[in-house]
Chains A and B, each alone.
Chain A
Amino acid sequence: MSISLPPSTKNNIEKLQPTGWLRYFSFSLDHKVIGIQYLVCGFIFYLIGGLLAGAIRIELTSPISDFMPREVYNQVLTLHGTIMIFLWIVPVVNGAFGNYLIPFYVGARDMAFPRLNAVAFWLIPPAGLLLISSYFINGAAQSGWTAYPPLSITTPAAGQIIWIISVLLLGGSSIFGGINFIATILKLRRPGLKLMQLPMYCWAMLGTSILVVLSTPVLAGTLILLSFDIVAHTGFFNPSLGGNVIVYQHLFWFYSHPAVYIMVLPAFGLVSEILPVHSRKPLFGYTTMVYSIMAIVALGLVVWAHHMFTSGTPPWMRLFFTIATAFIAVPTGIKFFNWVATLWGGRISLNSAILFSCGFIVNFVLGGITGVALAQVPFDVHVHDTYFVVAHFHYIVYGGSVFVIFSSIYHWYPKFTGKMLNEKIGKLHFAITFIGFNLCFAPQHWLGLNGMPRRVAEYDPQFAFVNQLSSIGALLMALSTLPFLWNVLYSIFKGEESGDNPWKALTPEWLTTSPPPVENWIGEAPLVTEPYGYGEKQARKASSKPNSDQ
């Protein structure tokens, strides 16, 4: 197995690829450039999705529908969900960090299929623009990101069809990426590097890519059938033509539940990289961490019908999916206990990266607990499709994945740019984000329990005050992006030089220059068999004297 491009091609690559800032706008084959392209592109869509979220929260500050027409409100919530999932979190936790880090971690000079990699990225901007343009053409899709028929068949067709095409393109991008990651991790490893020596993010990406490759085609097939129902008036899901709407829900959630793991498993991997570096301790329980990722992958494929407990499912099916869903908490719990054990007894630098990672742990634990509760059928029949669920999944995808994205940006920014981010502004960013996020979403649990359904533009006036609290939280979240943006943009030009390895990290991406050269290493790739080998000398010394921590 060849491990890297032969050195002779290096010159060719440099000739073919533009250099400087221009390469970020080119069809670059460099995995690091593609990673940054994913990250920046994803962040732009995050800002757009955030504006839409702001519009939703403004509408909900009053119990009546007064800020925008009801049709537009449904378009806004559909676009918000679709953009945040398919254009921000999935491409960033997988595409951005996966592309940047995986070749380093396996000791390769690039991904297995560099051209496929570039194609996968360049599908995203047109798909995203297409999706947003649908709003200006004839109104965007109005049936939520779930696009349940028959609503998606009866609402204006143009927006829905554009939505389908755009999600198909993004799904294709995701599948290309998944194939590429599996091939790179399994086949492009440096000789001498064993699977069980890989950094944890590789395992997370391997698990995630398996989910992507197995489940995304099902979504694609489902959406193609749905588009036939809309355009050609077939009757797959149209009850007036003998179709079955529940079948759509099964097929949709067969992808869309694993999609949650596609958004959080890479985040789990990233946290596993960040915590050991800043607490100067080995990652605790490496082997159990690996097995728990694979357990989450396996269980994640057989829990989809817990989204359908009120749809009309037979009792045996409800029971099976309750048990399978609740048991995902066990491998997930193992990971959280291992992270806390990684912190325990460390020498923790309290910087922005670790604060966001710890914020993730706290938020995700709450989201996980409400998740176990929601898995219980009798509990779910009350709160299903309410703001309780909205709160739950924002604790998972925002409190979880987005916090990890910020943590990762603080951690790897010196690697990307060779500059440090300002720590004071970083901590301010964390404080506003954490407070704003919890103020926005914690009260929504109460709203759901007490009778506020989701996806409504108007609601019972008794919920006005709590909704206003939530909107203030959303405002803080919006404001929190300002110090972050300033920090990131200012530091590119005027940030403190970071040197090659400011965190004294041992994972392979830090064992080269920052930013790294085109093919990652000047010479041969280093063989890193202990990516978490922190603290060993210290422990031998420390063992001789009494230790107060034990």
Chain B
Amino acid sequence: MPPKTGVYAILISLALIIACIWASNNLSLLPADASSNAPIYDELFNVLFVIGTILFVGMTGLVIYSLIQFRRKPGEEGDGLAIKDNLPLEILWTAVPAVVILFVGLYSYDIYERMGGMQTLNHDVHNQHSMSSEERLWGGIGTLKEDNAEIKEFPINVELTAMQFAFLFNYPKGEIISGELHVPVGQPVSMKMESKDVIHAFWVPEFRLKQDVIPGQPTILNFTPTKTGRYPIICAELCGPYHGGMRSTVVVEEPEEYDAWFQKNSKSTEVEL
């Protein structure tokens, strides 16, 4: 490769890197972030987006460049160069992707740990006796690591029952059964989920979280909402004809509003929050 081409290649790559870092920070490719792991998710998304765009544009560029530069011009006869192999090149394009993959893997592991994915799953921590130790708890994502020490004692416990084609939220403490999920902003929520019929999935795009709701096997999902608002809850596992209509809303509200809602709907006489 002549030096001039090399300089162009470096300049184009640099411009590309800057452009996609700008794009990943300024284009809204994702919905609002409304839970404590949404910003962490977006960090991972941006890194993957930058790496992915560079790779994609780079490879596409190489293909288009080759097609134009090495096309057979009219009247040209004969073959291309008989280059069969190049060991240093093969090593290079084995090693570089391996390093990139390793980096992405380690980075996403870090992200996963910050989201609490490697935590042992807990639900209903101050009601341990109510759960038999035999009961299997599956999947989901644990509580946020940094939040763990301080607020672990007061997660809001909700039990989600999914059925064709609705979500029901049960607040065991206030004996509330609601079709909408109400949660106060800034407080961790621990949700134990089980399905009555087929597999459903609980998905809130603004929380960047999804967990299947399975018949016969409770699953756990822990999250901390960070922004007030109403966000859609979407069933993400094909569950029958009305799958597309199986939606609900999560209402993230200020603690006072949440308390008011809780008091108003609570059926039990003694309510302690």
The finding on whether chains A and B are genuine partners in a shared complex, rather than unrelated, reads yes
Q: Is the CB of B63 within 8 A of A362?
A: yes
Q: At the interface, yes or no: B6 with Cβ under 8 Å from chain A?
A: no
| B237 nearest CB neighbor, chain A only | A385
Decide yes or no whether A33 CB sits under 8 A from chain B: no
Binary contact readout A383-426 vs B (1 if CB under 8 angstroms, 0 otherwise): 01110000000000000000000000000000000000000000
Which residues of chain A have C-beta atoms less than 8 A from B232's C-beta?
451, 460
Shortest distance between the CB of B109 and any CB in chain A (Å): 7
Which residues from 187 to 230 on chain B have a C-beta closer than 8 Å to any C-beta of chain A? 197-199, 201, 203, 205, 208-212, 214-217, 219
CA distance A69 to B29 in the complex (A): 32
Query: Chain B contacts of A451 at CB under 8 A?
Result: 31, 203, 205, 232, 234
Q: How far is the CA of A369 from the CA of B55 in the complex (A)?
A: 8
Assembly CA distance A280 to B81 (angstroms): 8
Assess the B214–A370 pair: CB atoms within 8 A: no
Contact of B90 among A240, A285, A378 (CB under 8 A): A285
Contact among A286, A372, A538 with B101 in the assembled complex (CB-CB below 8 Å): A372
Q: Tell yes or no: A126 within 8 A of B by CB.
A: no
Q: Are A538 and B209 in contact (CB-based, < 8 A)?
A: no
Number of A-B contacts (CB under 8 A): 299
A144-B37 Cα distance, complex, nearest whole Å: 31
Per-residue interface assignment for chain A, residues 269 to 313, with 1 indicating a CB less than 8 Å from any chain B CB and 0 otherwise: 000000000011111111110000000000000000000001111
Do the beta carbons of B67 and A453 come within 8 Å of each other?
A: no
B82: Cβ under 8 A from any A Cβ: yes
Bound Cα distance A285, B104 (Å): 27
A245-B214 CB under 8 A given contacts A154-B198, A348-B66, A350-B67: yes
Asked if A344 meets B215 with Cβ closer than 8 Å, knowing A70-B241, A376-B44, A382-B41, the reply is no
Which residues in B have their C-beta under 8 angstroms from that of A459?
Answer: 244
Q: Are B216 and A239 in contact (CB under 8 A)?
A: yes
* Residues 310-338 of A at the B interface (beta carbon under 8 Å): 310-315, 318-319, 322-323, 326-327, 329-330, 333-334, 336-338
Question: What are the residues of chain B within 8 A of A534 when measuring CB–CB?
Answer: 79-80, 82
Query: Which B residues lie within 8 Å of A142 (CB)?
Result: 240-241
Taking the nearest CB of chain B, how far is it from the CB of A290, in angstroms?
12
Range for the number of chain B residues in contact with chain A? 35 or more
Contact indicator B241/A538 (Cβ below 8 Å) = no
Q: Which A residues are in CB contact (< 8 Å) with B104? A: 326, 372, 376
Task: For the complex formed, measure the closest distance between the CB of B61 and the CB atoms of chain A, giving whole angstroms.
Answer: 10
Given contacts A330-B101, A372-B101, contact A535 B141 (CB under 8 A): no
Contacts of A344 in B (CB 8 A): 62, 66, 70
Q: Is B89 part of the binding interface, using a Cβ–Cβ cutoff of 8 Å?
A: yes
Q: Report whether A285 and B85 are in contact in the complex, using a CB–CB cutoff of 8 Å.
A: yes
**Residue-wise interface mask of B (90-118) relative to A, using a CB-CB cutoff of 8 A (1 in contact, 0 not):** 10011001100100110011011001011
With A245-B216, A369-B52 known to touch, is A155 a contact of B240 (CB < 8 Å)?
Answer: yes
Q: Is the Cβ of A539 less than 8 Å from the Cβ of B41?
A: no
Residue contact B62 to A340, C-beta cutoff 8 Å: yes
Docked-complex contact B215 and A449, CB < 8 angstroms? no
Q: How far is the CB of B198 from chain A (nearest CB, A)?
A: 4
Mask of A498-511 contacts with B, CB within 8 angstroms, 1/0: 00000000000000
Q: Do A381 and B79 form a contact, CB below 8 Å, given A142-B241, A340-B63?
A: no
Whether the Cβ atoms of A150 and B81 lie closer than 8 Å is no
* Cα separation A454 to B86 with both chains bound (whole Å): 44
B48-85 residues with Cβ-Cβ distance < 8 A to A are 48, 52, 55-56, 59-60, 62-63, 66-67, 69-72, 76, 78-85
A151 to B246, CA, bound (A): 15
- Residue of B whose beta carbon sits closest to that of A362: B60
Report the minimum CB–CB distance from A247 to chain B (whole Å). Answer: 11
Most buried by B among A246, A284, A346: A346
Report whether B238 and A74 are in contact in the complex, using a CB–CB cutoff of 8 Å.
Answer: yes
Q: Is A343 in contact with chain B by the CB < 8 A criterion?
A: yes
Do B59 and A535 have beta carbons less than 8 Å apart? no
How many of chain A's residues have a CB under 8 angstroms from any CB in B?
103
Evaluate contact between B199 and A148: CB separation under 8 angstroms: yes
Q: A323-B105, A365-B59 are in contact. Are A456 and B243 (CB under 8 A)?
A: yes
B7 within 8 A of A: no
Q: Are A365 and B55 in contact (CB under 8 A)?
A: yes
Q: List, in ascending order, chain A residues with CB within 8 A of B71's CB.
A: 348-350
Whether the pair A348, B67 counts as a contact (CB closer than 8 A) is yes
Q: Report if A542 contacts B (CB, 8 A).
A: yes
Q: Which A residues lie within 8 Å of B199 (CB)?
A: 148, 150-151, 245
Kindly supply a per-residue 1/0 record for chain A positions 435-470, scoring 1 wherever the CB is within 8 Å of any chain B CB and 0 otherwise: 000000000001001110111111110000000000
Q: How far is the CA of A154 from the CA of B30 in the complex (A)?
A: 36
Determine whether the beta carbon of A239 is less than 8 Å from that of B85.
no
Nearest neighbor of B115 in chain A, beta-carbon distance:
A378
From 30 to 84 in chain A, residues with beta carbon under 8 angstroms from any chain B beta carbon are 65, 69-71, 73-74
Question: Bound state CA distance, A155 and B104, in angstroms?
Answer: 41
Complex Cα distance A449/B210, Å? 12
Residues of B within 8 A of A547 (CB): 81
Closest to A383 in B: B210
A518 at the interface (CB under 8 A from B): no
Residue A377 at the chain B interface, CB threshold 8 Å: yes
Known: A379-B108, A539-B82. A341 touches B89 (CB 8 A): yes
Residue B155 at the chain A interface, CB threshold 8 Å: no
B239 at the interface (CB under 8 A from A): yes
Determine the distance from Cα of A295 to Cα of B246 in the docked complex, in whole angstroms: 42
Q: For the complex, what is the distance from the CA of A314 to the CA of B241, rounded to whole Å?
A: 31
List, in ascending order, chain B residues with CB within 8 A of A13's CB. Answer: none
**A interface residues (Cβ-Cβ under 8 A, vs B):** 65, 69-71, 73-74, 142-144, 146, 148, 150-151, 154-155, 239-240, 243-246, 279-288, 310-315, 318-319, 322-323, 326-327, 329-330, 333-334, 336-338, 340-341, 343-350, 354, 358, 361-362, 365-366, 369-370, 372-373, 376-379, 381-382, 384-386, 446, 449-451, 453-460, 532-539, 542, 547, 549-550
Closest 10 CB pairs of A and B: A239-B216, A312-B139, A456-B244, A312-B138, A535-B79, A346-B80, A451-B205, A70-B241, A280-B79, A376-B108
7 sample A-B contacts, Cβ–Cβ < 8 Å, listed by A number: A240-B216, A323-B105, A344-B66, A365-B59, A376-B104, A453-B234, A538-B81
